[in-house]
Structure 1
Amino acid sequence: MQKAILGLDIGGTGIKGGVLINGHLEDIRSIPTPALESKEFILNTIAEFIQTYAHYEILGIGIGIPGLVDTKQGVVLGLANIPSFQHVELKKFLTERFGLPVFVNNDANCFAIGVHKYGVGKPFKNLVGITLGTGTGGGIVINGQLYSGVNSAAGEWCSAPYLDHNYEYYCSGKFFHNFYHSRPKTLAKAAQAGDPEAQKAFHEFGHHLGELLKVILYSLAPEAIVLGGSIRKTFPLFKESMYETLHTFSYPTVLENLKILISELDETAIHGAVALVDVEKDMVSI
């Protein structure tokens, strides 16, 4: 049997898994999330999915979820788009079922530690990871360690008030949907083909993202900020306006030392989930 760490990314539409073997993520697979079913049904679905990896010698399980978590107890306080998954003792359930160490955290925190441990964030002890997708999430790594805060809520700049809503409203796919009635991917194709309205959309998005990054710089002044999520692939379309806004930041010497990087990992959420086991517990090096 191969020794492995199992990582799970549990979301409102899908449950995705993979195993870390000798430092490489392998055997990626997924199933639909039974989002409208009972808590018990969903827990058993997760357990059955984990059981499909039984041919490995699993040393620990890391799980990322899009919501707040009591990371010490492994209790999911709420999970986006899954009504029944509130105050769920996920760690206790899985530990009793499989007899393995289990670690649960917010998926944006998983992204941050994942890119630090396995991605472009490796060279930096202090970084922030920002996920740009359907929503916006943030995670913090300080001195090489994930900082989750109370109930994994550290780095939730997306919920801070901005203009007439919050940063997530302007720095995620919601911006394109609400103001341009289209998906980022569709608008990106149009912008690349020279459509001025689509180009304007990404110019505005870059400005709003720049304002969010300024707040992060005032809060933490990290060495690096790593952008992830599906919208990261459109970076060339909003890079210029983002930097234009960043250059209004009050402390130029901080900007001079800042690296803004684009995550190259396609399975960042799972990388981050396995990093919860590898980093938080430091239980094994494989």
Structure 2
Amino acid sequence: MKRYAIGADIGGSHINCALVDLVKGCIVDTNRSERKIDNQASDNDILEGWENALNQIVIGLDPDCLSGIGFAMPGPFAYDKGVALFEKVAKFENLYGVNVQQELAARLELPVEVSLRFMNDASAFAVGEAWQGQAMGTAKSVSVTLGTGFGSAFVSDGVPVVEAEGVPEMGCVWHLPFMGGIADDYFSTRWFVARWAAISGEIITGVKDVADRAVAGQVEAKELFMEFGSNLGVFLGPWLRDFEAETLVIGGNVMGAWPLFGPAFKAELSSLKVETNVVSSGLKEDAAIIGCARMLDPAYWRHIEPVLSKM
């Protein structure tokens, strides 16, 4: 096995990438790159932005020590084929039908033995946490990210589970029915914005605006976070119990307000007799970079490859 791989986390407005030591399972901090990306740009401009960010690491790197590049990519995407399927998601739609794998390999002028591999971004986060993060050494874990969207993945022995008893369809929960809509409607930033507007008539830009009011003692803001935490417990609790998850790792920007909604969440899990250990991500954004880079480990690739077509 070649020692190094590049992990690239593709966000809605940026790309973060870094060189990962596959032996140690850690990021080489001297080799990082970040670039803002306009997700409404042309296919060429988006690919060029990703190419430029990756080239900052590729250039000057000995090709003989590079296994390849792993991508933590949002959906919809054909992860096994490297083809973008972005449609009706208000981002990267100009890439629809583009074979990103082939395009970037040609642009980066990489040797044929340097592979480009793709994994769902929430799954990559969960793999990183299971490999080197808060779920390390845990047989079964669930990882969720609370931010612009509601990311989630179920992991058993380090590999995402997408088909099994106790696991929802596609191995994630964002699309499942909850109250009057789906889970993503209730466990994302836009819920806070919409709910606060309904309560106060005030338009806010994000969760921090409400958190600041809660910290300042505003009762309505405090109650909003308690409502969020309780709802999250009601929704996630049965899945954690059925999957027999030992650890739940929570990441994402909303975790900055954990002291405000965490107690209500844990209280709800306790009432449901769910004994899963709940922890905050320590790797944070690096979890997805480390997780997707792990696909370049040949031993791990044998386990993860059959799963990619089902994500």
* TM-score interval for Structure 1 and Structure 2 normalised by the shorter chain: 0.7 to 0.9
Q: Structure 2: how far apart are the matches of 1:137 and 1:263?
A: 13
Where does structure 2 lack aligned partners over 5 or more consecutive residues? 164-168, 198-203, 303-311
Asked if 1:35 is matched to 2:39, the reply is yes
Q: Structure 1: how far apart are the matches of 2:120 and 2:180?
A: 26
Asked if 1:51 is matched to 2:61, the reply is no
1:225-252: CA deviation from partner (whole Å, max 9, x where unpaired)? 1111011222121122112322342xx3
Match of 2:119, SS? strand
Q: How does 1:271-282 map to 2 (within 5 A)?
A: 271-278=290-297, 280-281=300-301
Q: Structure 2: how far apart are the matches of 1:229 and 1:42?
A: 24
Contact 2:16 2:34 survives alignment (8 Å): yes
Contact 1:109 1:148 survives alignment (8 Å): no
Amino acid at match of 1:233: G
Per the TM alignment, residue 3 of structure 1 is displaced from its structure 2 partner at its CA by 5.2
Per the TM alignment, residue 42 of structure 1 is displaced from its structure 2 partner at its CA by 2.1
Match of 1:90 in 2: 100
Amino acid at match of 1:30: E
Q: Measured at CA, do residues 51 and 189 of structure 1 come closer, stay the same or move farther in structure 2, by a change above 3 Å? A: same
Contact 1:68 1:78 survives alignment (8 Å): yes
Per the TM alignment, residue 217 of structure 1 is displaced from its structure 2 partner at its CA by 2.3
Q: Structure 1: how far apart are the matches of 2:240 and 2:68?
A: 35
Match for residue 74 of structure 1 among 82, 86, 104: 82
Q: How does 1:93-132 map to 2 (within 5 A)?
A: 93-96=103-106, 97-98=109-110, 99=112, 100-132=114-146
Match of 1:239, SS? helix
Contact 2:160 2:171 survives alignment (8 Å): no
Per the TM alignment, residue 104 of structure 1 is displaced from its structure 2 partner at its CA by 0.5
TM-score by length of 2: 0.80
Contact 1:4 1:56 survives alignment (8 Å): no
1:238-272: CA deviation from partner (whole Å, max 9, x where unpaired)? 122112322342xx3xx23x111110113222222
Q: Which moved more, 1:81-90 or 1:124-133?
A: 81-90
Q: Structure 1: how far apart are the matches of 2:270 and 2:225?
A: 18
Amino acid at match of 1:116: A
Q: How does 1:119-198 map to 2 (within 5 A)?
A: 119-148=133-162, 154-181=170-197, 182=204, 183-198=206-221
Where does structure 1 lack aligned partners over 5 or more consecutive residues? none
Amino acid at match of 2:16: K
Amino acid at match of 1:46: W
Amino acid at match of 2:116: V
Percent of matched pairs sharing the same residue = 26
Contact 2:127 2:288 survives alignment (8 Å): no
Asked if 1:231 is matched to 2:254, the reply is yes
